[in-house]
A = this chain, B = another copy of it.
Amino acid sequence: MDQFECLACGPIASREPDSPSFCPACAEPLFLVPAARSCGKTIHEDLPLALERFADFLPLDAIDPGLSLGEGATPLVRLERTGASMGLSAVYAKNEAQNPTGSFKDRGTAVAVQKAVSLGFKRIGTVSTGNMAASTAAYGARAGLETFVLLKEGTAVTSLKAAGIYGSRLIAVEGDYGSLFRASLDVGKRLGIWFMNSIDPYRMEGYKLTAFEIYLQMGRRSPRFLFVPVSSGGHLLGLMRAFEDLEREKLITTTPTFVGVQARGCSPLAAAFAAGLERYERPTEVRTIAHAISNPTPPAGNAVLRLIRDRKGLLLAVTDEEMLEAQRQLAGAEGLFCQPESATTLAALKHLAAAGRITENSGEAVLVLTGSGFKTPRLLESLPFEVHKIPLSGLESCLSRLIR
């Protein structure tokens, strides 16, 4: 039986895996207590699946490869040109867009689905505006589980249909997203549907694998800075816990400084951090193109605030214009086309470099690119590109004219 803890209140007496994942005392999210292994924990680099390589660090008794879609093992790409433009020589992108459904969510879904199947669950679900829907729908299909996707009203039709093609039941729910998030956990518990939402403890365990891979790809050490977009807070907390795991196993001696990034138009955590508050306030207005990180009531928000403060990290907000500019810079200078939400990481690094808070001597900065730009084609269509229309006979003269 897995043990759970609240980072504020400590261990929790007992809890079923699909129970609402909040501490009964303080309502903060719950985490798995890392299992001790008498012989220590090992990374099995020779095994094919990421889940198998890092199995010692996961709360799974066994890994069923039949449930995996080959998630993980994503590249760490050096951004030489981008770094140089800020006077930095060691900037990297961890490209989570290369996961099976094009986002980091697959890391978490893969672990939660392994657990759900091992416990005999027949039904799963999630609450999502996009990436999470596609990921949960895909892994649900892979596992042969009945899958329910609850969509906030107004979700883009492409995201919705992407979940639909995997055969999920699609339900558009009117009303407040935060209330839907909590209602899904309660109702799901009664109906035997495991709603593996953004801060599901097993989902957060999956996010650890991104950090373990960064550790290996950096040559078995921590980068100096890790930049990650923040919405619910689950992704950032999962990454943080991975470095704690590595520290506990004496595999590293230092952990990275975490920089969580929000969209200015919905930045309750960055605002609370800047104001020195212990608890965030719900913003009165939400206005950003960054739908995937636009969460006015992040369920792990206060835990993120506390941990970032304790560990001398940062929470920043960037504007829509800044993230779109960073998105184009990553594509144009590095060949990496990510979602604007992912590009917030570069926009934040640019702020810190411009302010002299990160310099050439500061050490490596890793940007976690959370999702693929190909999944948000609507944003592309509004971009103004020049297309030269010519007849075939005009090809040579057109090319000659365009050559720099």
Contact = CB atoms under 8 A, between A and B. Distances in A.
Interface of A: 48, 65-66, 68-70, 73-78, 80-81, 95, 98-102, 123, 134, 137-144, 146, 148, 150-151, 153, 157-158, 160-162, 164-167, 169-176, 179-180, 183-184, 187-188, 190-191, 193, 217, 327-328, 331-337, 372-375, 377, 380-381, 383, 385-392, 395-396, 398-400, 402-404
Nearest to A328: B165
A286 B389 CA distance: 23
Contacts of A73: 73
Contacts of A170: 385-388
A337 B374 CA distance: 14
Contacts of A99: 98
B392 A174 contact: yes
Nearest to A172: B389
A141 B332 contact: yes
A113 to B, nearest CB: 10
Nearest to A177: B392
Contact of A172 (B77, B183, B331, B388): B388
A169 B101 CA distance: 29
B334 A141 contact: yes
Contact of A331 (B65, B165, B184): B165
A383 to B, nearest CB: 6
Nearest to A375: B374
A396 B375 CA distance: 31
Contact of A148 (B140, B191, B399): B399
Contacts of A174: 389-392
Contacts of A337: 101, 134, 138, 162, 165-166
B164 A385 contact: yes
Given A174-B389, A387-B160, A166 B332 contact: yes
Contacts of A157: 381
B95 A380 contact: no
Contacts of A398: 171
Given A70-B95, A332-B141, A381 B158 contact: yes
A10 B144 CA distance: 52
Contacts of A176: 392
6 contacts: A161-B380, A166-B331, A166-B337, A171-B399, A172-B388, A374-B375
Nearest to A122: B404
Contacts of A374: 101-102, 134, 162, 372, 374-375
A391 to B, nearest CB: 5
A171 B390 contact: yes
Contacts of A400: 191
